[in-house]
Amino acid sequence: MRAALLALAALCGCAVAQAQAPAQPEVPLALKAPADVATVEFHGTAIVDAAGPGAAPMLYPAPGLAGFAAALITHGLINEGIRSKEQKARLEANDRVLEPYRPMLAEYKPAELLRAAAERLPWHGPKQAIEPNQVPAAGWMVEVRPVFFLTQDQRALVLENLISAREVSSATASLTMTVRVVSQPRTEENLPAAWSADSGAAMKAEAANLVAYSLLLAFGEARKQADANAAYRTVRYPEGGVEKIERAQVVAQVCNRMLIRTLRGWLLSVPAAAKPDEPACVSTLPGWG
């Protein structure tokens, strides 16, 4: 398994791995989306902190033990009903930020996203996006389940990508990881216009960049064993125009991005201020970062 991960890292445009790895033959890479996804999944980030809902007070008289038990069960069911209704309402409220983009997103298929991501991904070999029911003949197959979140101020996209990679010849995945990437905040005055112009070109390009970058991070970091003793600290970063706080291990800071490992073990790449004494840096994903 470890040898497979080292090979994966060597094949991708992971600078450190490339510096160490000997010359590699070209290996095909196939990106595959889940079969149960018709369009690329988008949501809005959470608006407010989820608060406890108002529960129904327990009002009914309950004479006797049997009556008390029946009252408890009824009360529990009513409370559960209230909570799931309120959660649904919260999720719908979060997603209202996507209203200007619904027509474009309704036509945005996973195949289009993965083709664009594959083009951007530095890889030593031919790359393709395949249909959910296809299996490539050779090389690496990477299944992805990307979910995008548009921040409520519409300034940034956040990708949460569940990635599973295996050699086609192997029955088991060498790598399964969740990677989150927060884009740099946009600065345009009219953000809906900026994102939507030219059939959503900017949003689709950013989505593809995020997917490609998440794959680079997964391939590059998977070969390193997480240091269980590395200290956790509280990290602050911008998500759109909002400052977020995350308890995490800092894995690396390069150029204007910081890579951290969250308490859930996910990799999270976030915008960061470039270090003042850092020499001119080259982004891991050419043309983005």
Partner 1 sequence: MKSTFTLAALLVAAFALTGCAINPQMPVELTPATISASSSQKIGVAATPMPKISTTYPGADCLLCILAASATNSGISNHADTLGLEDLPKLKERVAASLQKRGLNAIVIPEPVDTKALNNSTGDAPNTPRKNFDAVGKRYGVDKLLLIDVTQVGFERTYATYFPRGEPRAIVRGSGALIDLKTNRYEWYTPLNLTRSAEGAWDESPKYPGLTNAYFQTLEMAQDQILKPWGK
Q: How far is the CB of 105 from partner 1 (least distance, A)?
A: 22
For residue 22, give Cα distances in angstroms to 4, 6, 16, 19: 15, 12, 12, 8
Q: Is 118:206 a contact under the CB 8 Å cutoff?
A: no
Nearer to partner 1, 43 or 115 (CB): 43
Q: Is 170:254 a contact under the CB 8 Å cutoff?
A: no
- Report the candidate in 58, 90, 84 with the shortest Cα–Cα distance to residue 71: 58
Nearer to partner 1, 266 or 288 (CB): 266
User: DSSP assignment, residue 50?
Assistant: P
Query: Restricting to residues 103-162, which ones interact with partner 1 according to CB under 8 A?
Result: none
Nearer to partner 1, 71 or 173 (CB): 71
Q: Is 20:6 a contact under the CB 8 Å cutoff?
A: no
85 forms part of the interface with partner 1 (CB under 8 A): no
d(CA 117, CA 128): 10
Burial class (CB in 10 A: 0-12, 13-18, 19+), 210: buried
Pattern of binders to partner 1 over 19-58, x per CB under 8 A?
---------------------------x--xxxxxxxxxx
- Residue of 15, 27, 37, 83 that binds partner 1 (CB under 8 A): 83
d(CA 46, CA 262): 19
76 forms part of the interface with partner 1 (CB under 8 A): yes
Site size for partner 1, by CB under 8 A?
Answer: 25
- Residue of 236, 275, 278, 286 that binds partner 1 (CB under 8 A): 236
- Report the candidate in 260, 289, 258, 255 with the shortest Cα–Cα distance to residue 274: 255
201 forms part of the interface with partner 1 (CB under 8 A): no
d(CA 15, CA 44): 34
Nearer to partner 1, 52 or 287 (CB): 52
| The one segment of 70-78, 122-130, 134-142, 198-206 that binds partner 1 by CB under 8 A | 70-78
Query: Restricting to residues 242-271, which ones interact with partner 1 according to CB under 8 A?
Result: 245-247, 262-265
Binding site for partner 1 (CB under 8 A): 46, 49-58, 72, 75-76, 79, 83, 234, 236, 245-247, 262-265
